[in-house]
Amino acid sequence: MNFRGSGEARRRAWAVCGLAAWAALAWGGSAQAQETTASYVQGFGGRLEAIGDEVRGVQRVRVASESLSPKRLVASMGRRATVQSLFFYVRDEIGFEPYEGELRGARGALMSRAGNSVDKAQLLRELLGEIGVRSRLVWGTLSPEDARQLLEEYAGSGALSGLEVPSSAPLSSPGGDRALVNAVREHTWVEAQIGGRWVALDPSFRGAAYDAARGSRVGEGSEVRPEDRITATVEVFVKERGGKSRSLVRVSDRLEELAWRNVTLTFGAAEGKGRTLAPSLGLGSRTVRGEGFGVGDAERVWVEFFFDRGGRSQRKHWRDLYVAGGQLNIFEADQQVFSMVMLPGWVNPTFFTAVAQQELAGLHTGGASMQGVIQQGQAKALREAEVLRRADSYVEEVLGKSGGLMALTFGMVSDRTSLRMARQLGVRAFYDQPRVLMVGGFRDADRFYWQIDLRGDGLRAVAAQGLPQMMEPSFQALRGRFNSGLESAVVSRLTGKPVIAVDELMTAAAEAKTPMVTLSPSSFEAEVKRLKVSREASIRLDYLVRKAGFSALVPAAPSAVGGEAATVWWGMDPSSGALVGMREDGTHGGLGVGLLTGKAPEGKARSGALDVLLFDEALTLLYNLSGTVGVMLSGEPNVCSVSCGAVKDLVRLPTLMCVEGGAQGYQKLPLDDEVAACLRPSRVAADDILGQAKDCAGAVRPSRCGAVMSVARIVGRFGMSYTQEPAGPVLGPWAGEGLAPFDLSGCKCP
């Protein structure tokens, strides 16, 4: 992923200087090292000044705070803020999305520029409160006809051109989708007390009239119904040898209190036998410390995210942090910081700007202070132990804040591109559950390592009325493959080092002619025996396929790129057609990304210099981070390399699915013939208990046909146009910017 900007040459110069100084520091003799270290630390001032230039550039970007706060929105409207103007604003400027319950709240709906009836009503009620108007929430039930109208307005209607759609092709009918209808029939609106009476305000429908409501009234209140309220919980567990699993630390609160915040998870020394650690959850200025556990006794350590809506439903995401004997042992690193950002909707670019301004300024100020601490240490004003303690503290701050910014950087580029893809493919996409963006930052001696991981980041997709239903998995396949490449690209861009991504390892396996095995729930037992993979990979594949109901396309043996070998696979969601790249350690992107390219040989402890190397590493990261953020805020990120790779893989993937071991094989056809085949109804009628087809071809059909359709659309084999535009903003927080369609014509893909 490349970003257009002017600081690249200067950034390369700093990298050369930093590596040259590191070589002198690590390999020089004692007296020479002392002299080199002193001049090296003195030179940090110039680097901090260059970083300061980048940070000041970010600070100059205007923060349109009216898109973040209902209070500021009303203030920006001045005397124009009346009951009617606020009603029309929420009706027309905040899009409707068909999910259940309270997900975003007033602030989240404003930031995402979208919400369901509950969240739109909450936003309107809060805006009315700012002008002193008393109001209440009202809930009721929509008739089937009104529910259908609301969904059809949301999706719009469209038609394909340049392609003959068979009369038997299943077409999208959002108003006839039972699950979507059930999601919107429970409806919420507002009543405002004006002139001694209650006036109905229902901002969910297109062109809804003032003082009119569509729902059949059931009740009212000053707060959201308990059954609509979402409680978020973050909990860390350990499973010890010969014992049961136990909870180490837990934080629980309403989702709106934990959302949009960078929650950090760290592990510190604790009292106990052997090496004992205890987790801590950081929530701004508040820290919750957990119980200790012996690292040598731990079989598994993991974090879980629970999202409970009124006790009626619960979403759970989990992430293994440590598995004994696994590929990744985070506790071998000297420091570990996991940044976890819970987002209930689209990433708002103004929110990203505000967070970046605050975090980058703090890191830059801390860097200047740390340089002074190191210089004091060299002058013997501070003991070495004190310098290292302060260096550790600063590094933890760097890992935590940088991780949060990495997560938001990924989220913003992903959301922006996802909305463009959806627009081009004729679907409306929305988040119907909280998403968790995790970034793990590790320090091992004098190096940093990073990984990005996503939990619950899947989008729902609804094709416009009259389009083939196959447009929904078409979007999911394209977005899934794009995001898998984007994760590694973001880490690589921000750290300045290449990352071995899942798609690169899959490509290497294909070029090495490694047999591909397609696993589905019904074929797992027989097919998994053909894989030469680690026990850890087998466990993860078992969970993905047999418990989660996915299919998986797996090379029969580990593949290698640049000396790194790993087992990777594409996970295929049969319900949506989404593709997810995964590797055996449970991550999606790359691990092992360091800012320095070498390490001194064993036995060279570099006493008194480790803090200097850590600081060099931190400054390199901070320079990359601030420069990248600055370019993102001043221009369009260039994602051509990721996009071209996604399309290339989507062309190849169908030829690899079910080639061996399935009940049916899939033979590559000319693209137009493949499109025609995908538009015909599936002939597979036999489904298992998971609702997934028993045979291989049927199991992978959504992902396979999604890949075929998305490629055909991108290369111009057919066009799409709206006969009725969808209601509300279709581009989320970027609605006013008019994002261009997802078009690769300017990318010059090979």
pLDDT of residue 31: 40
Mean pLDDT of 150-172: 95
Residue that wins the pLDDT comparison between 127 and 458: 127
pLDDT of residue 149: 96
pLDDT digits (tens, 9 = 90+) for 678-690: 998 876 544 444 4
Q: Are residues 400 and 484 in the same domain?
A: yes
Q: Are residues 3 and 71 in the same domain?
A: no
pLDDT digits (tens, 9 = 90+) for 202-233: 999 999 999 999 999 999 999 999 999 999 99
Could you tell me if 441 and 403 are in contact, meaning their C-beta atoms sit under 8 angstroms apart? yes
How many CB atoms lie under 10 A from the CB of residue 35? 13
CATH classification at residue 211: 3.10.620.30
pLDDT of residue 127: 98
pLDDT digits (tens, 9 = 90+) for 569-580: 999 988 888 988
**Chain mean position to CA 20:** 36
Q: Are residues 55 and 77 in the same domain?
A: no
Q: Are residues 77 and 210 in the same domain?
A: yes
pLDDT of residue 565: 80
Full 3-state SS string of 499-527: CCCHHHHHHHHHHCCCCEEEECCCCHHHH
pLDDT digits (tens, 9 = 90+) for 585-623: 777 654 333 322 233 333 333 445 667 888 888 898 999
pLDDT digits (tens, 9 = 90+) for 175-210: 999 999 999 999 999 999 999 999 999 999 999 999
Q: Are residues 18 and 126 in the same domain?
A: no
Q: How many Å apart are CA 320 and CA 327, to the nearest integer?
A: 12
Dihedral (CA of 43, 48, 50, 51) sign: positive
- Checking if the pLDDT of 372 tops 80, the result is yes
Q: How many Å apart are CA 293 and CA 714, to the nearest integer?
A: 52
How many CB atoms lie under 10 A from the CB of residue 92? 15
Quote the pTM value: 0.89
Q: What proportions of the chain, in percent to the nearest 5, are helix, strand and coil?
A: 45, 25, 30
Tokens of 687: 């489904």
- Checking if the pLDDT of 5 tops 70, the result is no
719 belongs to a structural domain: no
pLDDT of residue 588: 66
Q: Which residues, in sequence order, are CB contacts of 122 under 8 Å at separation 6+?
A: 102, 105, 106, 109, 115, 137, 224
Q: Which residues, in sequence order, are CB contacts of 480 under 8 Å at separation 6+?
A: 578, 579, 580, 581
Mean pLDDT of 400-406: 93
Q: How many Å apart are CA 436 and CA 588, to the nearest integer?
A: 14
Could you tell me if 206 and 153 are in contact, meaning their C-beta atoms sit under 8 angstroms apart? yes
Q: How many Å apart are CA 748 and CA 715, to the nearest integer?
A: 12
pLDDT digits (tens, 9 = 90+) for 317-364: 888 899 888 777 889 888 999 999 999 999 999 999 999 999 999 999
Could you tell me if 452 and 410 are in contact, meaning their C-beta atoms sit under 8 angstroms apart? yes
pLDDT digits (tens, 9 = 90+) for 644-698: 999 988 988 888 888 654 334 566 788 999 999 999 887 654 444 444 556 778 8
Q: How many Å apart are CA 278 and CA 99, to the nearest integer?
A: 38
pLDDT of residue 390: 87
Find, among 294, 286, 279, 295, the residue nearest to 247 by Cα.
Answer: 279
Mean pLDDT of 155-172: 94
Q: Are residues 440 and 420 in the same domain?
A: yes
56 belongs to a structural domain: yes
Q: How many Å apart are CA 204 and CA 390, to the nearest integer?
A: 53
pLDDT above 90 covers what percent of the chain? 56
DSSP-based three-state secondary structure for 450: strand
- Checking if the pLDDT of 4 tops 60, the result is no
pLDDT of residue 37: 66
Q: Are residues 93 and 135 in the same domain?
A: yes
Find, among 370, 356, 331, 329, the residue nearest to 262 by Cα.
Answer: 356
Q: Are residues 222 and 303 in the same domain?
A: no
610 belongs to a structural domain: yes
DSSP 209: P
Mean pLDDT of 153-168: 94
Tokens of 200: 């109905």
* Average pLDDT for the chain: 85
Residue type, 129: G
Q: Are residues 362 and 376 in the same domain?
A: yes
696 belongs to a structural domain: no
Domain boundary among 198, 228, 258: 228
pLDDT of residue 589: 53
555 belongs to a structural domain: no
pLDDT digits (tens, 9 = 90+) for 494-550: 877 777 788 888 888 888 889 889 998 888 888 888 899 888 888 889 989 988 889
Here the contacts of 378-386 (C-beta below 8 Å, separation 24 or greater) are 378/37, 378/38, 378/41, 384/607, 384/608
Q: Are residues 71 and 207 in the same domain?
A: yes
Q: Are residues 75 and 219 in the same domain?
A: yes
- Checking if the pLDDT of 25 tops 70, the result is no
199 belongs to a structural domain: yes
Label residues 292-301 b or e (16+ Cβ within 10 Å = b).
Answer: bbbbebbeeb
Q: How many Å apart are CA 484 and CA 393, to the nearest integer?
A: 32
Give whichever of 19-28, 155-164, 634-643 has the largest mean pLDDT.
155-164
540 belongs to a structural domain: no
How many CB atoms lie under 10 A from the CB of residue 689? 7
Residues β-bridged to residue 724: 157
Q: How many Å apart are CA 718 and CA 161, to the nearest integer?
A: 6
pLDDT of residue 664: 44
Number of domains in the chain: 3
Q: How many Å apart are CA 625 and CA 50, to the nearest integer?
A: 13
> Which parts of 324-459 are beta strand (E)?
335-343, 427-430, 435-444, 447-455
pLDDT above 70 covers what percent of the chain? 89
Mean pLDDT of 725-738: 90
Residue type, 226: P
Domain boundary among 325, 358, 381: 325
600 belongs to a structural domain: yes
Q: 612 lies in which domain range?
A: 1-60+344-463+480-491+590-634
DSSP 613: H
Residue that wins the pLDDT comparison between 564 and 148: 148
- Checking if the pLDDT of 252 tops 70, the result is yes
Residue that wins the pLDDT comparison between 605 and 704: 704
The pair phi, psi for residue 199, each rounded to 5°, is: -105, 130
Q: Are residues 103 and 36 in the same domain?
A: no
pLDDT digits (tens, 9 = 90+) for 436-464: 999 999 988 878 888 888 888 889 999 99
Mean pLDDT of 472-476: 96
DSSP 739: P
